[in-house]
Amino acid sequence: MEGGAFFQGKEPGPISDPVSHYAPKLNLLERRARDFLQARDHGGPRTPLTQADLAALRAIRNRAVMLAALSGTISGILIGGTEVYLRLVVLNGDESRSLIDDPWLWAAFYAGVGVLTVIEIAFLYWNALRAITRIGGVVGVSMKSGSGSNLLATGLARSALEMPNPQTEIYGIDPYALMPRWRLLIQNLLYKAKVGATSFVLRILLRRIFARAVLRGYIPLLAIPLYAIWNAVITWRVMREARLRALAPFAVDQIVRRIETALPDPSQNVRCTLLHGAGEIVRRGSDAHPSYVLLLSHLLDVLGFKEEEIDVDWERTRREFQALPQDARRQIARILAMCALVAGRPRSAQRELVAELHEMANLELPAKALAQMHGRMIDGQPFAPGDDDDPARLHGSGTSVIDPPPA
């Protein structure tokens, strides 16, 4: 393979800020959320997490989830209680009356529901953002200084707002190329439906179950647990994703150190194979995750490439991989196993790729190996595979991938 053979022909130049490949154009809400995180940033040196750190992270998550559930309960009581009062007291329980019969009454009610919903959503955003700043403090990441800090702040802000990752290319790679269009469409529709559709379906079911008019009048109150549970589940997911994104620089640090120690003077074939293997990991991930952007930006840097448009050709890369010396194949297989974990639990297509690489490198890959590596990574611990890995060597002193260099 000749140097740069897989790049799309752009002129070499300096590596740009990674955030430009993830979300170059932020809306007002995203900018405000990012500014909130950066204004309250108190990141510090990144070290493996202790048991006390892990306990602190659980406490932050649990507090955020409980506050979200409480907000849902209060919202449900106010909305449901008002609707019950209107139906049973103001309208005397007359189920035959429709919205058309009392338009001003219901217009005022739904206007109030809209205002209350906006307040609730604003609180949930604030609750998530505040928790994320505390997660950043425990993990020890900087969101306002150093290369990649804007990407980290933007990715965390979008997770707090529960916004899906942009459906865009990253470094020339289309992460959605292998995802069927119908699946992508359904994924978008489900995201947009969310709690509104769930609440609507629940109310229909409740009305069928409780057929008597006297019971139907209290149905709005029966939906109160739905609001609490829904808010709690969503916030729990946000906290899980925020923790993963906050730990991504820690994971990328280890991958970079692994390359520098295991492949100190790689050939051009090794460099291209490693980069395009990572590109195939991204393609099979079916998600333009900010952790992939961070990973590729630093692989380009550590491997000495300046081109930023990567044209992945896995069939060609596989042949090049098979032609490499066995030791190089083994190191690349282990490094790419780490790359498959930076955005969370690997998908089945990614697991298949990692297993294929290990087989071609004559390495064993226990069925639970990736899950164990993922567990160590999400706990902020060294997660490199192989018995010959020295955690101290892989997480020694040095400059972080997002922290500014020492003066």
Burial state string for 171-202 with b = 16 or more CB within 10 A and e = fewer than 16: bbbbbbeebeeeeeeeeeeeeeeebeeeeeeb
pLDDT for residue 399 is more than 80? no
Domain map (residue ranges) of the chain: 247-394
Q: Which residues of 331-352 are buried (b: 16+ CB within 10 A; e: fewer)?
A: bbbbbbbbbbbbbbebbebbbe
Q: What distance in Å separates the CA atoms of residue 232 and residue 71, rounded to the nearest whole number?
A: 9
Residue 20 scores a pLDDT above 60: yes
Percent with pLDDT over 70 in the chain: 75
End-to-end CA distance of the chain: give it in Å, rounded.
Answer: 40
What is residue 392's predicted lDDT score, i.e. its pLDDT?
A: 38
Average pLDDT over residues 372-386: 90
Q: Flag whether pLDDT at 120 surpasses 80.
A: yes
Write down the pTM of the prediction. 0.82
Look at 10 and 157; give whichever has higher pLDDT. Answer: 157
Average pLDDT, the chain: 80
Assign 86 a pLDDT band (cuts: 50, 70, 90): confident
- Give yes or no for residue 401 having a pLDDT over 80: no
Residue 149 phi, psi dihedral angles, 5° rounding: -65, -40
Q: Amino acid identity of 143?
A: M
Give tens-digit pLDDT for 208-233: 455 444 445 556 667 788 888 888 99
Torsion on CA atoms 301, 306, 310, 316, rounded to nearest 10: -90
Instruction: Quote the pLDDT of residue 307.
Output: 77
| Residue 248 to residues 55, 59, 141, 152, 350, Cα–Cα distance (Å) | 19, 21, 10, 9, 18
